[in-house]
Structures are given as structure tokens and as C-alpha cells.
Amino acid sequence: MKSKVVYILLFAMGLSGAVNAQLNNYKYIIVPKKFDAFKSQNQYQTSTLVKYYFTENGFTVVYDDALPVDLAADRCLGLLTDIIDDSSMFTTKVSITLKDCNNIEVFRSIEGTSKIKEYDESYKQAIQNAFVSFSGMIYKYEPKQQNEVTENAGPVTVSFKDDVKSVEEKPKEHVLEQKATQEEQVYKSVEPKPTNIVKAVGEEKMEPVPSSTLYAQPIERGYQLVDSTPKIVLKLVETSIENVFMTDFQGNNGVVFLQDGKWVLEYSENGKKVQKELNIKF
């Protein structure tokens, strides 16, 4: 079993690197003030929400009418965001795409959905669900050789005074406070703070996780594990070995596997192997 785990760990590290390499060569994410799929500027707060979630995932995000000097000089430093809206009468369905300076699609998220009747809340939930595709990435800008000169151009200051400051979901209740002007918008939501702790096995190390019980929801190529909030805690990617999944935990590549009837998360941190026992309900 140990040899299988080592093999999967190495494979997971290679796969994660290949995925991140798609985006690491780009310094900026560009968000339009008005997406083509919508009639008005920032309709349903689409622009501010998309900018917020990209920022939360570690990207440097700018609006299309406020490009920094180096990006204005070299449009290929950034990826342009778009929202693909395939909503029906009863279900909101959106995907997030990223295109390079040649209008070639570099990345497309999973389709986020929502059945909430109110448009503002429905698009908010659907966009949040689509951003699951970015939550497992470890993004770090790695400039191409020809772009190294622009790295010395000095720091770029990006103002977030008009943007979403926090978006958190309260269980079975959607709370949104919005100022009426396009110049200033505020979003407030309340969510219980995670306090439960999972017992570590193997190494004498305890790590906090959002919930003691995680529920597996099928997604493309595996599962996503959510707590009772519900909040996505881990994404499991299927492997060719039964009951062995690749995952990413707090920026560390790892595996989740079944051992002696118990699910175990194993990953390497600071050169040491760490194991955690997980309570997963499939």
C-alpha cells in the first residue's frame, strides 16, 4: 500500500504542476465592467463578484478600463475573463472562461448552477460554484523570459474600494446588502466559523478542518467533499487504483485512500509525512 501511495503522490505533483502551468505565465486577470452575456454594466454584480473570487484565489485582478502600465504595453501579460451564461427559465448556469491576447481560450471552469429565484442571489451562488475549479490551484506568476523587463517596472497599486470585500454563505439563508450606486457596493453575509478538529494519525500533528463529517458530491473525474455549511473542503480526483484519490490540502499535494475501513488523507509538509483520518459520507 505504501508503494502505491508514493506513486500516487508523485503523479499528483506532476498533474498539479501541469494544470497550474496553464495560468502561471500570466501576470493579470482582466475583468470586464460589462460582460457580453448581460445587458448592463455589472449586472447582478457579476463583475465585482468575479473580481472578488479571483482575488481570493491569489490572482492579481484588474478591470478592463484600469489596466496597469505594463499590461497596457503588453496585453499578453493578462488573461481576459468572460462569463458563459447558459441559464434556463428555472436554473442559472454559468461558466468562467479565460482567453489570452490572441483570443484563444486557455481555461474554462466547471458549470456553476443555482435554482434561487432572485437573480442577484442566483448568479452570486452560480458564480461561486463555478469558482470551485480555481480553488485547488496553487497560482504563482512565473514570467516568460521576454517579459522579465516588465517585472522591474515597479509595484502596481490596485484599488478595491468599490469591490466585494467578503462573500460568505449562511446555511439556507442568503443575505445581501447593496448600496444602490455602481460606484460603491457592499456585500455582507454571515457564516459560522469552523472550529472542529480532525484527529491526526501517523505523525503527532493536529490540523483544523471545517467539519468532522464530510459529504461526498460527485463531480467530473471524482468528488468534492463538503461540510454541513455546505462549504467545499477538498476535491478528490479519481485514479486508476480503487479507493485512492489525488487531492490538494492547504497548498500541499496529497492523496486520500481507504485503509482498514477508514479514509485517510496523506500529504507532505515541510519534508514530513502527515496523515489525517477523515469521516467521509458517500
Look at 1 and 202; give whichever has higher pLDDT.
1
Q: How many domains does the chain have?
A: 2
Please, which pLDDT band fits residue 194 given cuts at 50, 70 and 90?
very low
Please, which pLDDT band fits residue 164 given cuts at 50, 70 and 90?
low
**What is the per-residue pLDDT for 154?**
45
Please, which pLDDT band fits residue 91 given cuts at 50, 70 and 90?
very high
Domain stop point among 104, 136, 153: 153
Contacts (Cβ under 8 Å, ≥6 apart) of 263: 256, 257, 277, 278, 279, 280
Condensed to tens digits (0 to 9), the pLDDT of residues 45-84 reads: 999 999 999 998 899 999 999 899 999 999 999 999 999 9
Are residue 110 and residue 223 in the same domain, yes or no? no
Are residue 148 and residue 35 in the same domain, yes or no? yes
Domain stop point among 121, 153, 185: 153
Are residue 136 and residue 234 in the same domain, yes or no? no
259 located within any domain: yes
Q: Is it the case that residue 99 has pLDDT exceeding 90?
A: yes
Q: Which of 33-42, 160-169, 192-201 is predicted with the least confidence, judged by mean pLDDT?
A: 192-201
Are residue 127 and residue 232 in the same domain, yes or no? no
Contacts (Cβ under 8 Å, ≥6 apart) of 23: 59, 79, 98, 106, 107, 137, 139
CATH of the domain at 78: 3.30.160
**What is the per-residue pLDDT for 168?**
57
Phi, psi of 147 (to 5 degrees): -100, 0
252 located within any domain: yes
**What is the per-residue pLDDT for 167?**
63
Domain stop point among 153, 184, 216: 153
Look at 164 and 217; give whichever has higher pLDDT.
217
120 located within any domain: yes
Do 189 and 176 meet the contact criterion of CB atoms below 8 Å apart? Answer: yes
**What is the per-residue pLDDT for 9?**
45
User: For strand 207-208 and strand 222-226, is the pairing parallel, antiparallel, or unpaired?
Assistant: unpaired
Domain containing 219: what range? 193-281
